[in-house]
Amino acid sequence: MKFSIEQIAQMLGGEVIGDKTKSVSKISKIEEAGGDALSFLANLKYENYLYTTGAGAVIVNRDFEPKKEVKTTLIKVDDAYSAFTSILEQYQSYMMAARVGVEEPSYIGEGSEVGEEGYRGAFSYIGKNCKIGKFVKIFPHAAIGDNVEIGDYTIIDAGAKIYSNSVIGKECVIHANAVIGSDGFGFAPQKDGSYKAIPQLGNVVLEDQVSIGANTVVDCATMGSTIIRKGAKLDNLIQIAHNAEIGEDTVIAAQSGVSGSSKIGKNCMIGGQVGVAGHLAVADRTILAAKTGIGKSVSSPGQVLMGAPGFDQKSFLKSFAHFRRLPDMEQRLSDLEKNIQNSTTENKGDE
Which residues are marked as active site? 242
Per DSSP, the chain holds a count of helices (H) and strands (E) of: 5, 40
Neighbour tally for 319: CB within 10 Å:
14
The DSSP bridge partners found for residue 258 are 240, 276
Cis status of the peptide bond prior to 199, with omega within 30 of 0: no
CB atoms within 10 A of CB 160: 26
281 to 202, 276, 316, 344: CA distances (angstroms) = 21, 9, 21, 56
Integer CA distances (angstroms), 109 to 130, 162, 273, in order: 8, 14, 39
Contact indicator for 196, 177 with CB cutoff of 8 Å? no
CA 9 – CA 15 distance, rounded (Å): 6
- Comparing CA positions, the residue from 145, 117, 157 lying closest to residue 133 is 117
Cis amide linkage into residue 105, ω under 30° from 0 = yes
Q: What is the DSSP string of 44-79?
A: GGGHHHHTT---SEEEEETT---SS---SEEEEES-
> Would the CA dihedral through 209, 145, 227, 157 be positive or negative?
negative
Output the DSSP codes for 89-112: HHHHHHHHHT--EE-SS-EE-TT-
- Fill in the amino acid letter for 145: G
CA angle 97, 98, 99 (to 5 degrees): 90
